[in-house]
A and B are shown apart, each in its own frame.
Chain A
């Protein structure tokens, strides 16, 4: 479907330094498995799965490591062929620990376990949906934009869905994962979206992409000619276009009510890499055991887009990119806006890891903060129309109830307010603290 319009959400948001040039023309390369991987048994929103292997077992790439759990979960597969050498508690970027399987990689490599490809065209609509949901569950697919919500649950929604949007906004600076995937695997992106669209019975689909990725957009528009119900939708470059509700507002001008899911306005949103993984799982029987990660920033010698086996450490990826350019750069896992700075480089790459950004001192936000001069820029950019200055003033005075009244719980933690603050106040940190206190008091 042809579509040359450029859209954006109406109020708030800001323009960030993009820094995508570092890696936008760098093809995705496969990182060879390191000597040992530590695969967390929880790489999804929910609870850890129970291990289905024991120490000394030989496992193949793609083999299930764990699938049972009491609650929301996604299946975890091995990303390498090798021997289970132990169990450990891996530390994640947010300082939580999670039970993990340590696997020593076979030097010889080894073959991959594949599922049987599905011939979707032979199925009735009901069977089609059931088959797709079953396959995404078997393949351990979760939302790869960072939220890691299990996709098979998302596809099982009871809400009537009329539109499926693929989120290729990728509004975080530096990161070019979706950018490269849209350039290199546009056919798979459309194929994956079409599978999801038909599975949930939606009549139309969009692939939304910011205009700061012209190559990807051009490629999407070419492929869109082959799909009558799917259009490429260009978006203005504005942070946070990748936030689900704002993406929907921009593309369809529908506003998802507070505390509701996109299903309530008939929309399902998936990440670019997620639909690629769905296409892989359905057509080629491949499970999700590796993901594309952008290793970038001026602190890394050779910025790259890497296909990294899950469980390889952050340090492995940095080493593969030639190490750092300056002593002790700030290592950020995720994007520079919402990501977390880490010290311990043994943290494993998981399904949630979209970027590893090494920031030099000049790039890093290190200014000391000053008094608020009430310039109102935080309010201006807040995509949720909240007053971050007032919320944080309440939080800092332990007036949590008032902070909640001012919109604390509606905050999506995009960090735009803190980015623009001329007084360099750590607003997001204070908001996160306030949210934590509010949640704790609610429990009590």
Chain B
């Protein structure tokens, strides 16, 4: 027996170990990895495992004992960091991206700080952050889950974004490991059940992002389901080494991450805020650890004071949010009255001399026209139109003089990010539309000088104006209008991605009553939603000229072909 034995207890120890912690968290990422394999195929699995094994093997020489065949992957911490990094990659990343990340993780993020337990910043996020800055071309691909409609096509999609269910299951484009909230939640539930992570960081993160989203007037549920907030809240922010340790400290850290994420999404050029939000909070962790301290057992009076202070702060925050949100709600109420008639505000702005305005017939659905009068003398027109932009509908108010030329333009209600909103409101942008006339509406879009960095929003404004200027002209019937003269049930089929798709189309009174898929062999989760989407689009537009669902091109074409076959087009 060694002479230098430990005298004081505890003389027993738990079976827990560093290695076990790392491997359990890795195991919890298994559902997300599986989902990535199902949704994005073998290349995604290559990206994930190349990152994980690459990092683990690179770090091996730094572990105590050097490389050994007995535990070739070391304590698992580098493997875990690599795994997390791999899951954040875009599905189309080139082959070398995993190794780029592995090198950053091991040399820059971990060993430069002194190895396991000493790194200040989450290694996976350091690698991802550097990738974001060094190869911004890949960033645009990451926008996909957030901007589903924009990437597929620029047309205004009804319900432009993916549904909650699609986001929850992960059947949307995005980073390989981040798309499926379900898979992530399964993994996190496992970790929580086994006691390897607490709830405070994740709940703080998700709760704060929802509240902040509300304050920005966004849909809170969509905010947390789309993009990487779920992944960051459950697996990135909860990284043990780089997050605080105390109870209140963890909650505050989570709240900080949540607020920062949404703020970065909304107020900066970055469409996704999780990486920098968590890195910033990593940097704040040592400070949070020493300043946000829990009261001790038995500090009854101090706890009372602290509770009072927290309640006071919370009350102020809630009040501030309520005021901010309340004003926002108030504003949308006044703006929504636009639909009923020209607002006093627009009259005062563009036609200070006017007495009133009368609704004018408009040939365009979605464009409201008003003729403006003083007494019996016409002064011009006020036109209200809108178009789907970067992530919301942008309302445009146009003023025409009696010659039907544009004399004034105002951007109304929108839910674009604050940056984009400010950009399209700039006079330097709007002035290019002055003097445009109803005689040549197409010139608006044809000669558009879009703002770089806000192309989609610029274009949306131009299209809205073009629509407004066309208010006297009925829209041309879309090409490919289906012949729905005969009632009845028609069957047709065509080849999809994976064999024949057979549909049954019911026509009744010039309308398509239903389109039923009789049989198909398409991929669940990818092909199936596309079938329904195409069916809905055809039924509503009564044409076959509908948008192809991205990621399911063959399926979409097959479905259109089958409907065409049924209706004998």
Contacts and interface: CB of A to CB of B under 8 A. Distances in A.
A365 interface: yes
A337 B9 contact: yes
A374 B298 CA distance: 25
A172 to B, nearest CB: 10
Contacts of B193: none
A159 B157 CA distance: 76
Contact of B245 (A17, A336, A389): A389
B283 interface: no
Nearest to A428: B8
B118 interface: yes
Top 8 A-B residue pairs of the complex, sorted by shortest distance between their CB atoms: A371-B117, A365-B13, A258-B298, A415-B10, A376-B245, A422-B16, A384-B297, A375-B240
Contacts of B299: 257-258
Nearest to A329: B1
24 contacts: A11-B297, A16-B12, A257-B301, A332-B11, A341-B5, A341-B11, A343-B5, A365-B12, A365-B13, A373-B116, A376-B245, A376-B250, A379-B247, A383-B297, A384-B296, A385-B297, A386-B296, A387-B245, A387-B293, A390-B290, A406-B293, A410-B297, A422-B18, A423-B18
Interface residues of A, number: 66
Contact of B240 (A335, A337, A376, A407): A376
Nearest to B117: A371
B6 A359 contact: no
B417 to A, nearest CB: 35
B415 interface: no
Nearest to A375: B240
A17, A384, A418: residue with the most chain B Cβ atoms closer than 10 Å: A418
B532 to A, nearest CB: 45
Interface in A370-428: 370-377, 379-380, 383-387, 389-390, 406-407, 410, 415, 418-424, 426, 428
Q: Of B6, B9, B13, which is in contact with the most chain A CB atoms at under 10 Å from its CB?
A: B9
Interface of A: 11-12, 14, 16-17, 95, 173, 245-246, 249, 255-260, 328, 330, 332, 334-341, 343, 357, 359, 363-365, 367, 370-377, 379-380, 383-387, 389-390, 406-407, 410, 415, 418-424, 426, 428-429, 432
Interface residues of B, number: 43
B21 A340 contact: no
B9 A410 contact: no
Interface of B: 1, 5-14, 16-18, 20-21, 77, 115-118, 196, 198, 240-247, 250, 289-290, 293-301
B236 to A, nearest CB: 15
Contacts of B241: 373-374
Nearest to A405: B293
Contacts, number: 157
A20 to B, nearest CB: 13
A337 B198 contact: no
A258 B296 contact: yes
B205 to A, nearest CB: 16
A371 B296 CA distance: 26
A14 B241 CA distance: 22
B300 A390 contact: no
A385 B294 contact: yes
Contacts of A371: 115-118
Nearest to A409: B296
A257 B296 CA distance: 10
A431 B398 CA distance: 73
Contacts of A343: 5
B12 A173 contact: yes
Contacts of A370: 18, 116-117
B243 to A, nearest CB: 7
A422 B20 contact: yes
B11 A359 contact: yes
A32 to B, nearest CB: 29
Given A385-B295, A390-B289, A364 B12 contact: yes
B115 to A, nearest CB: 7
Contacts of B250: 376
A376 B201 CA distance: 12
A260 B115 contact: no
Contacts of A383: 297
Given A373-B18, A422-B18, 20 more contacts: A14-B14, A17-B12, A249-B297, A257-B299, A330-B5, A336-B11, A337-B12, A338-B10, A341-B6, A341-B7, A373-B21, A373-B241, A375-B240, A376-B246, A379-B246, A387-B289, A389-B245, A418-B10, A419-B14, A421-B14
Given A256-B298, A379-B245, A387-B246, A424 B17 contact: yes
Contacts of A12: 297
Given A371-B115, A406-B293, A422-B16, A340 B9 contact: yes
Nearest to A17: B12
Given A373-B117, A376-B250, A420-B16, A337 B10 contact: yes
Given A341-B7, A415-B9, A420 B296 contact: no
Contact of A363 (B12, B116, B246, B289): B12
A380 B12 contact: no
A50 B115 CA distance: 58
A246 B245 CA distance: 23
A367 to B, nearest CB: 6
Max chain B Cβ within 10 angstroms of own Cβ: one of A12, A334, A424: A424
B18 A419 contact: no
Contacts of B242: 374
Contacts of B300: 255, 257
A367 B18 CA distance: 12
Contacts of B246: 376, 379, 387
A429 B7 CA distance: 9
A12 to B, nearest CB: 8
A339 B245 contact: no
A426 B5 CA distance: 12
Contact of A364 (B7, B11, B245, B293): B11
A260 B11 contact: no
A385 B12 CA distance: 22
Contacts of B244: 376
Given A373-B117, A373-B241, A340 B8 contact: yes
A386 B295 CA distance: 8
A267 B445 CA distance: 83
Contacts of B243: 374
A259 B13 CA distance: 29
Nearest to B295: A385
B12 A419 contact: yes
Given A367-B13, A373-B241, A420-B16, A429 B296 contact: no
